[in-house]
Structure 1
Amino acid sequence: MSVAGVGEFGLIDRVTARLSYGSTVLLGPGDDAAVVAAPDARVAASTDVLVEGRHFRRDWSSARDVGHRAAAANLADIVAMGAQPTALLVALCMPPELETGWAEELADGLAAEAAKVGASVVGGDMAASPTLTIAVTALGDLGGRPPVTRSGARPGDVLALAGRIGYAAAGLTVLSRGFRTPRLLVEACRRPEVPYLAGPHAARLGATAMIDVSDGLLADLGHVAKASGVAVDVRRDAFEVPRQMRDAAQALGVDPYTWLLAGGDDHALAATFPAAVALPPDWQPIGRVTEGSGITVDGRPYDGPTGWDHFR
C-alpha cells in the first residue's frame, strides 16, 4: 500500500503505534508539540538532513538502515557536546507512491538507534515531495556540565579519537564501484557505529574541545583548529589499516589513508585533552595541539583531500 493510499494521518497513526518513549518524554506525539524533560535547564539541540540520491540510495540501504543512519548523525552531534541525548523530532518528505512499509521500517530504525542512548522519537512532520528527504532534530541534556565546544583546544593538549574512521567511506567506494563486499565496510556505510558513551565520558574527564567526525577527520579538525586559534597535527602511524580496508584499497586502487583521513559518516568523536589526563581505552591518542594555525599530518602540510563539502 502506498502513502497516498493510507493518507497523511493514517501513516502518522501507523508510525506512532510503533514507537515507545523513555522517562524524559512527558508528552509524546498527538498534540501540537511534545514535552520533554530538561533537568539541566539547558537543552543541546542539533539538526541534520538526509536526501535520497545525495546521502543514501534505496537500492543500497534498507529503510531500517536509513533510519539508523539518520538518527545516528544527529545523536552523534549531541554526544560531541558532552550531552546525553533525550529526544528526536523527525520530518519526512516523501513521494505519494512510496510504500507505507518503507516509512514504517524507517521509523523502526530511527527508534532503535535512539533507544541505544535512552532517547525517543517524540514527533515531527510529514509532507509530499518528489524527493525523499528525512530531517531530524536531536535534543540532549548537558547533565549540569558546560558544553564541550570546538573552541577550547589549547597548545600542549593531546588529540584523541573514539570510534572508527574510514570504514563508511571505504564502504561507499565499494558500493559505488558496484560491489557488495567486504561486508564490514558496506555495513559501516549503511549503519554507523557511534561511540555514544565516549562523548559524555570525555566531558567528565575534562576534554577541552570535541567534534563529531562526519565530513572527514582532517576537515573536521580544521574546524577545531580555527575555532580554537591553534594548530593540530595528526600522526599517520596512530591508525591501523584493518585487513578488509587494506584489501579493498588494493583491489580498487585507492590509498586507504584517503578514507581514514578524509572519509566521513562513521561519526567517530575527536577531542582534545590536557596532557595530564589519563585517557581511557576508548580514546586513542592520534596527535597533538600546538601553537599556530591549520592542520598538518606528521608535522607537514597535507595536500590531499581533507573531507566532504556539500557545495563543492
Structure 2
Amino acid sequence: MTASSPARTVRELGEFALIARINAGRTQAPGVLLGPGDDAAVVAAPEGRFVVTTDMLVQDRHFRLDWSSARDIGRKAIAQNAADVVAMGAVPSAFVVSLGCPADTAVDFVTDLADGMWEEAARAGASIAGGDMVRSPVLIVSVTAFGDPRRAPIKRSGARVGDVVAVAGKLGWSGAGLAVLSAVAARPGGASVAPVDLGEFSEFADVVATHRVPQPVYDAVLDLPDDVEITALTDVSDGLLADLGHIAESSGVAIDLAAAALHDPGLDAVGKALGVNPLDWILAGGEDHAFAATFTDSSDLPEDWTVVGRVAAGAGVTVDGTSRSGPSGWESFA
C-alpha cells in the first residue's frame, strides 16, 4: 500500500481510524445526549427508567457471508434488538454495538455493515450511541438496545383466560427464505459470495430477502390506541410455537391457534416447490421478528393485527386443539 492508496483492510486502516470513518457524518437521535467520542455515551431516560436488551450474531451460526451482504447483516443485528425493545411496549432510543472481526476484513465491508445498522436504527426511530471493536477469528456482532417505556412494561405473564391471540407482521417468511438458501447451497457449486445466485429459485427472492433482513412492524405495537388492552406481548424470534409457549408458561394458561387463520397464500408456491407444508415455517421457522400478543377484545384491534387463536385454561400451545410434534422453534444449543 502506497502513501496515497486507500486502506483495504481494517489492519491497514487501524482501529481508531476505522471508528472515526464509520461514525463520520452521523446524526444522533434525540434520545442520545452524548454519542461516540468519550469513554461512554449518555442516553436519556425521560421516564426515569429505560428498557435494555442485548443480542449477539456469530458468523456461520446466525448468518453466512455467502448468503447475506454486510448491509443485510447490519440491519438484521439492529432489527432483532429493536423488536425486543418494542415487545416490551417501549420506543427504541439508542443502540450500542460491539464488533469483532478478523484483521483482514475489508474496510468497505465494515463501512457497509455500519450503514446497514444506521439504516435500521433510523427506521426504528433511534441511533447508534457508541460501542467497541476488537480482533476476532470470525465476524461477531453484539448489540445492546435501549428503549423509552411510554407505558407500563408489557410482559409475557399477563395473558388471561378468554383473551384473543393476535399477530402482526409476516410469519414463516424467514424460515422459507432459509429453506430456499439451503436448497441453493445444496446444488453443485451452490456456495458463492453474496449475493448468491438463486437460479431456479429466483421467483422466491422475496422470502430470501425477508430472511436476510427482517422488517419488524414496530408501529403495529407503538401505535396501538390507549384504549386497546394488551395483556401479554412477545417478539416472534424463536418461532411462534416457542414464543407463545413462553407466554402460556409465564401466564399459567393454554393457547390454542387456528391453522386456517395462520395460512399465508404468499408461502404456498415456495412450500410446493420445496415439498414443505408452509404451516411448519409459520409455527416454528423463527427469525420472523413479527409480534404476537394477547388482547382482552378483538373488536377494536387495528388492521395490522390478525386474530389467530384464544387463551384458555390449561397449559401449553396447541393448533386446532392438537399438540404438534417436532421442533417448536430455534434453540441455541440444539
TM-score of the two chains, using structure 2 as the length reference = 0.90
Query: 2:183 is matched with which residue?
Result: 177
**CA-CA distance at 1:139 after TM superposition:** 0.3
Local SS of the residue matching 2:97: strand
1:198 aligns with 2:205: no
Q: Point out where structure 1 has 5 or more consecutive residues left out of the alignment.
A: none
1:96 aligns with 2:103: yes
Residues 1-312 of structure 1 aligned to structure 2 (within 5 Å): 1-143=8-150, 145-178=151-184, 179=198, 181=202, 182-202=204-224, 204=226, 205-243=228-266, 245-275=267-297, 278-312=300-334
Assess if the C-alpha contact under 8 Å between 2:232 and 2:293 holds in 1.
yes
Alpha-carbon RMSD across the aligned residues, in angstroms, is 1.2
**CA-CA distance at 1:19 after TM superposition:** 2.5
Aligned partners of 1:41 and 1:125: how far apart in 2? 27
Query: 2:191 is matched with which residue?
Result: none
Q: Given residue 318 of structure 2, which amino acid in structure 1 is its aligned partner?
A: T
Larger radius of gyration: 2
Aligned partners of 1:148 and 1:167: how far apart in 2? 26
Aligned partners of 1:99 and 1:263: how far apart in 2? 32
Aligned partners of 2:325 and 2:67: how far apart in 1? 32
Assess if the C-alpha contact under 8 Å between 1:82 and 1:202 holds in 2.
no
Local SS of the residue matching 1:185: helix
Assess if the C-alpha contact under 8 Å between 1:66 and 1:191 holds in 2.
yes
Q: Given residue 280 of structure 2, which amino acid in structure 1 is its aligned partner?
A: T
Assess if the C-alpha contact under 8 Å between 2:92 and 2:126 holds in 1.
yes
Q: Given residue 212 of structure 2, which amino acid in structure 1 is its aligned partner?
A: R
Q: Given residue 91 of structure 1, which amino acid in structure 2 is its aligned partner?
A: S
Q: Given residue 261 of structure 2, which amino acid in structure 1 is its aligned partner?
A: A
Distance 1:306 1:203, change over 3 A: farther
Query: Runs of 4 or more off by more than 4 Å in structure 1?
Result: none
TM-score of the two chains, using structure 1 as the length reference = 0.97
Map Cα deviations across residues 4-43 of structure 1 (whole Å, 9 max, x no partner): 1111111111111152211121111000111111111110
Assess if the C-alpha contact under 8 Å between 2:229 and 2:297 holds in 1.
no
Residue-pair matches, total: 310
